């Protein structure tokens, strides 16, 4: 088949249609350059061009949402380490009252939109890219300085104030997600991060404080072509979030308590994104990376499948491992199921035996004509 454009390849993979090869993309932080819109755009484009990915997940610093509501963070100055927290906004229940909806065209959100415009300007419609958007509950967790126990305490003791704060964050993120599309993103990469795991929240807590605030954000970008749900951590809740309106699910399938790629493909008609474990990308051999890609291809048959890592890859991930992941993808078309395994032509139905000619019924004895005349 003719070579596809990157958008065609991604769209076909999402729809379970034939692809010329499985689309691939890996992402990670650039802790030194992610602090300015120009730096983030440059780092994103540079990585894309280095590996010629089929799609790109923009990887902003994780703290930008919280900075918009008053957290203070600063660069570590180290290529391998993320931002350092100086101060955080949510220290007591009273602080929940101060979390109000924001104008997404200003401050840290405005800077992200500026970065997306630069990326879109450079790529045109050539490569699908998505912007990371954390879930409202995750943003509140960041505002609490990452103290998840404090957030759970607010769930128990300050439910009403927490609901109001989550509502303001959700409204802001919905407007922001919309603005990301307007800036040229193909969709969002919606990440539950700390909260999409039974290690940190019960199903009931997520149903009350997670889901009702997640859905408006996804609804705001319903017409996007590539929305991803990323469910981080082990013991994840992915299986209870499969009804979220996205095109593809991404998670660390190898972590304990998590479903495999094959498990999820059986339960949804959406696509799956993943295949290589982050520790393998960072510290494994190229042969090990290739073996994990092969296993992912075996589980998915290369259908409804986009190759990636289960989460962002560390900055010092060896180039040889990224190259090995790409090289392990067969450069042959993956046909859609119907074309690969044509259903057996149904046997022509046996001609039904001609029914025995029914014996001519004996002519009934002609009744004696009675001469009446
Ligand atoms: Zn993750």
Q: Give distance in angstroms: CA of 285 to centre of ligand 1.
A: 22
Using 70 as the pLDDT threshold, list the residues of the chain that sit under it: 337-373
Residue 232 Cα to ligand 1 middle (Å) = 4
pLDDT of residue 360: 44
What H or E segment, with its residue span, contains residue 276? strand 271-276
Which residues on adjacent β-strands are paired with residue 276? 309
Q: List the domains of the chain with CATH numbers.
A: 6-340 (3.20.20.210)
**What does the pLDDT read at residue 144?**
98
Distance CA 199, CA 219 (A): 27
> Which residue in the block uniquely carries the two structure tokens 């407007």?
175
For 216, the token pair is 């408006």
Ligand 1 centroid to Cα of residue 24, in Å, is 17
Distance 196 CA to ligand 1 centre (A): 10
Calculate how far, in angstroms, residue 194's C-alpha sits from the geometric centre of ligand 1: 8
Q: How many CB atoms lie within 10 A of CB 205?
A: 17
pLDDT score of 292: 98
pLDDT value at residue 338: 54
Signed CA dihedral, 48, 53, 54, 59: sign only: negative
* Whether pTM exceeds 0.75: yes
- Pick the closest to residue 29 from 46, 43, 17 (CA basis): 43
Q: What is the pLDDT of residue 1?
A: 80
Calculate how far, in angstroms, residue 251's C-alpha sits from the geometric centre of ligand 1. Answer: 7
Could you give the CA distance from residue 322 to residue 278 in angstroms, rounded to a whole number?
A: 11
Distance 278 CA to ligand 1 centre (A): 10
């Amino acid at each position: 088949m003719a070579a596809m454009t990157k958008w065609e390849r991604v769209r076909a993979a999402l729809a379970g249609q034939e692809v010329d090869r499985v689309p691939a993309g890996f992402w990670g932080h650039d802790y030194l350059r992610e602090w300015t819109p120009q730096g983030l755009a440059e780092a994103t484009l540079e990585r894309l061009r280095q590996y010629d990915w089929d799609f790109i997940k923009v990887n902003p610093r994780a703290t930008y949402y919280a900075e918009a509501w008053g957290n203070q963070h600063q660069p570590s100055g180290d290529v391998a380490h993320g931002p350092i927290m100086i101060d955080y906004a949510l220290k007591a229940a009273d602080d929940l009252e101060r979390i109000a909806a924001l104008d997404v065209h200003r401050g840290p959100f405005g800077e992200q939109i500026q970065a997306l415009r630069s990326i879109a300007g450079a790529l045109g419609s050539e490569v699908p890219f998505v912007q990371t958007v954390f879930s409202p509950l995750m943003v509140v967790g960041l505002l609490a300085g990452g103290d998840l126990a404090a957030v759970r305490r607010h769930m128990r003791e300050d439910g009403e104030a927490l609901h109001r704060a989550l509502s303001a964050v959700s409204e802001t993120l919905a407007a922001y997600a919309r603005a990301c599309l307007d800036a040229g993103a193909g969709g969002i990469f919606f990440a539950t991060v700390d909260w999409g795991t039974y290690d940190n929240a019960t199903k009931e807590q997520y149903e009350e404080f997670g889901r009702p605030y997640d859905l408006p954000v996804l609804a705001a970008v319903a017409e996007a072509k590539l929305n991803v749900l990323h469910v981080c951590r082990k013991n994840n809740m992915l299986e209870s979030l499969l009804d979220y309106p996205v095109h593809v699910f991404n998670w660390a399938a190898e972590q304990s308590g998590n479903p495999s790629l094959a498990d999820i493909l059986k339960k949804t008609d959406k696509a799956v994104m993943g295949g290589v474990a982050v520790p393998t990308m960072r510290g494994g051999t190229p042969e090990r990376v290739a073996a994990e890609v092969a296993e992912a291809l075996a589980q998915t048959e290369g259908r409804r499948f986009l190759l990636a890592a289960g989460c962002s890859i560390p900055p010092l991930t060896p180039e040889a491992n990224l190259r090995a992941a790409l090289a392990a993808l067969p450069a042959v078309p993956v046909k859609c199921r119907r074309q690969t395994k044509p259903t057996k032509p149904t046997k022509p139905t046996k001609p039904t035996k001609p029914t025995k000619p029914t014996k001519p019924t004996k002519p009934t004895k002609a009744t004696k004509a009675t001469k009446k005349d």
